Structure 1
Amino acid sequence: MALILAIDDSATDLSMIQYILTNHEVILARNGEEGLQELDIHPKVDLILLDLHMPVMDGFTFLDICHDRNLDTPIIILTNSEEIDKEIRGLEKGAVDFIRKPLNFKALQMRIDVQLRLKQSTELIKEHNRQLEELIEKRTQTIRRTNEITINALVRLLEVRNIETSHHARRTKVMMELLCRQLQKQGLAGYQLSDKEINELVDTAPLHDIGKVGIPDNILLKPGRLDPDEITIMREHVNKGIEALDYSIESEETKISFIETARELIASHHEWYDGSGYPANIQGQAIPLAGRLMAVIDVYDALTSKRVYKEKIEHNEAIEVMKQESPRHFDPIVFAAFLAVVPQIRKRLEES
C-alpha cells in the first residue's frame, strides 16, 4: 500500500480518486497550499496527483516550490484533453507524467502502478549505492591504514640509522597538508588537488629521503662538508629511493596510486625551478607538482632543524634564506602559498 497525495479543487474528482485507489492510502488537498501543508505532515508521500487549475495556489506554483525544496516524489498532473501546452509546461517543471480528465479507472491505476514501481526501483538503487559507498569507504580506510603502516615501517629505517627522527616525518606531513589545502582553496589552474591526492601526498611525504638508507655512513653522517665525489654519491639517494619502491606492473591499470605518488615525489623533490637541480635537471612546470611542493617543505625543515652537519637556524632567518633563493629554486605559486600558511604551520608544529 502506497501513500498518495491527491491535490484537486474538484470534490468530484477527489472522490473518484479515493474510490479508484482503495488499495492505497489517499490524502486529499483542495489546492497547492493545502498540498504543501499535507507534505509537511506526511513527508514520506510516495506519489502526488496534481491538478493544474486551482484557487489559492495553482499546480504550476506548487511544482515550482517542490523544485526549490528538491522534492523527489513523483508527480502526475491531471489535465483536460485540450490543455496540451499546459501538459508540456507541467512536465518541464518536474512532473513525471500526466492523466487527462475525465479520469479513466484503468489508465489511472496503470500510470500510478508504473510510477510506484519506478520509485521503488530508484530507492533500491539508492540503498544499494549507499551500501557500496559504505563498503568503499571502509576499504579505503583499511587501505590508507595499511599504507600508513608500510610508510612508518620504511621511515623507521631512517630513524634506526640516526638519519632522521619521527619528528621529521610528523613535520613534513603537517606542512604538506597545510600547503596542499592552501592550493586547493586557491583553485588555480594546474594546482588543483583532490582530497584523495592530498591524502596521498601527506601520507607519502615522509618517504622523500628513504633512499638515504642506501648511502654509506661515512658520507651520510659526515659532520662536515662533502667533497665533490661524496656529493655525487649522496645524490644517488634519489635513485635508490625510487628503486626501493619499484614494483612490476602488467599495464597502466595495475599501477598503485600511492606508490606512484611517492615515487614521483622522491624523484623530483631535489629539482630546482630554474633547471639546476638533480637528478634530471628538469625545470618549471615540467617538475611534477609533488616535487615542487616537497622542495619547499624539505628546505624549510632542513634549515630549521639540527642536522649532523649543521645547527638549526631560526624561522625568520630561514624564510629570508628561502626568499633569496626562491626565484631559482621554488615554484613561485607554491612558495607564495607556503608563505601564506607558515603561521599555521608554526602553530601546528608547536601544538603537536
Structure 2
Amino acid sequence: MGGTLAHNNPLDFTDKATVLVVDDSTENLALMSSLLKGTYRLKVANSGDKALVYAKLDPQPDVILLDVMMPGMSGYEVIKKLKADPATRAIPVIFLTAMASAEDERRGLEMGAADYITKPISPATMLARVRTQLENKVVADFLRDQNLFLEAQVQRRSGELSAIQDVTILAMASLAETRDSDTGNHIRRTQHYVKQLALKLSTHPRFGYFLTPETIEMLYKSAPLHDIGKVGIPDRILLKPGRFTPDEFEIMKTHTTLGRDAIAAAERQLGMEVDFLRFAKEIAYGHQEKWDGSGYPLGLAGDAIPISARLMAVADVYDALISRRVYKEGMPHEKAVAIIQEGRGSHFDPDMVDAFMDLQETFQAIAQRYGDSDDDLTAKVTQMARLQDLGAA
C-alpha cells in the first residue's frame, strides 16, 4: 500500500490518500486537480515516463488516473510496465480517456485496469469510482498483509517442526551410537553418502519418480536411524571384538527388526504415520538385504528391496570398510571401492553401484571431512570398556 491510508477498520481511511493523475493535457490536469484537491493528496505527471517514476516515489499513489492517448508512451504501455513491476503492480489504475468504444474498454480492462471512465467525465461519477477503488485497495492491502503474516507463521511453524524432527532423530541415533562400536561420525558420513547417491540417481529412469527433492530430504533425515535397533542387542554380542558364533549372529541380525519396531512404536505414540519415520523404518529393516536375496531379515531380492534400504546398503558397507574401529584398522579407499564394485549385482543394486563409481571421489571427500580422530576412537574405547564393566557387574 502507498502508506497513506490508515485503516483500523479496513473500510475506513482517515488520512488523505494519494492520487496520481497522468495526462499530457494541461487543461485536463488542471480540471482533475480542481476536483480532487482537498480530498486527496495529488501527484500529477504529463507523460508516461514521469508517471513510472512518480509511481515509485514515497508516498506511492494509492490509485492512478491514467490517460490512454499520450505522445511518447501511451497509457497502455504505462500500465503494462506498472503491472510488470512488483513495486507498482498492486496500485489500482483507472483509465480516464476519450476512447469510448466497447473494444477500447475491453482492452483496457484486460490489461489490468481496475476501472475505465470515458470523457467527458461526470465529476460525481468519477469521484465515486475513485473512492470505490481506494476502498477496494484498503481491503486488498489488509488481506495481503494478513496472508503475508500467515505465510510467515506457517514458515516459522514448519521450521520448528523440521527442527523437532532433526532433534528427535539425532537423539535416537545418539542413543544407539552410545552402545555401538561406531562413532557419531559414522552417522554423519552415511547421511551424506545417501544424499549424494540419491541426488545422482534422481535423474535415472528407474529412480527419478521416487527420488524427488522432498524424498531425498526425508532420506537424509532418516539415514541416522539405520542401526537404531542395536540398542536392543546384548552387550556381550554388540561389544564383542571378534567374530560372532552362528547363534550370536542370529541375535545380531535381529537389530533390523528391533529398529523397525522401535520406530513404529514411536509412530504409535504420535498417533499418526510420519513420512520421515516411514523411510527410517524401511532403512532400519531393509539395509542388510542383498540384491541377490542372500541378505536378512527377509531375504528380499532385487526391486523388492525398498530403494531407501538399497541406498543405505551401499553407504553403510563403504563406510564400514574404510572406517577405523576399536578392533580394526580402516581399509584404503581404493580397496573399498573395488569391493563395492565386486558386489555389483550380488550384494548391491547394479545401477546404484554404477552411480557410486561415478561418485567415489565425492564419497572419499565426505569420509575425510567427517573422519574419526584419535580422540574419537579413544573416547569410544573408554565408553565400550565402561559398558562392558557395567554388563559384567
Q: TM-score, normalised by structure 2?
A: 0.76
Matches within 5 A, 1:1-352: 1-22=16-37, 23-42=39-58, 44-70=60-86, 71-72=88-89, 73-80=91-98, 82-182=100-200, 189-194=208-213, 197-226=215-244, 228-247=246-265, 254-273=272-291, 276-282=294-300, 284=302, 287-307=305-325, 311-331=329-349, 334-352=352-370
Deviations 1:174-228 (A, max 9, x none): 3334444555688973144335x44433233111011122223444344444455
Q: Distance in 2 between matches of 1:205 and 1:331?
A: 18
CA contact (8 A) 2:67 2:96 kept: yes
Q: Following the alignment from structure 2 to structure 1, what is the Cα–Cα distance between the partners of residues 202 and 304? A: 20
Residues 1:110 and 1:33: Cα distance change in structure 2 (over 3 Å):
same
1:208 and 1:266 in contact (8 A); partners too: yes
3-state SS of the aligned residue for 1:246?
Answer: helix
What SS is found at the alignment partner of 1:6? strand
Change in CA separation of 1:3 and 1:296 when aligned onto 2, cut-off 3 Å:
farther
State percent identity of aligned pairs.
36
Q: Which moved more, 1:232-241 or 1:118-127?
A: 118-127
* Distance 1:5-1:282 versus aligned 2 partners, 3 A rule: farther
- CA drift of 1:85 comes to 1.4
Alignment CA distance shift 1:175-1:106 (3 Å): farther
CA distance in 2, matches of 1:159, 1:295: 18
**CA shift for structure 1 position 294:** 1.8
Which has the greater radius of gyration? Answer: 2
Unaligned residue ranges in structure 2 (runs of 5+) = 1-15, 371-393
Deviation larger for 53-62 or 165-174: 165-174
Whole-angstrom distance in 1 between the partners of 2:341 and 2:117:
72
Give the AA of the match of 1:4: V
Shift of 1:13: 2.7
CA distance in 2, matches of 1:45, 1:275: 71
Query: What is the CA–CA distance in structure 1 between the aligned matches of 2:176 and 2:322, rounded to whole Å?
Result: 19
CA deviation after TM superposition for structure 1 residue 33, in Å: 1.8
* Number of residues of Structure 1 aligned to a counterpart in Structure 2: 350
For 1:49, what is the secondary structure of its paired residue? strand
User: Hey, what's the Cα distance between the residues in 1 that align with 2:350 and 2:92?
Assistant: 53
Q: TM-score, normalised by structure 1?
A: 0.84
Q: CA deviation at 1:261?
A: 3.1
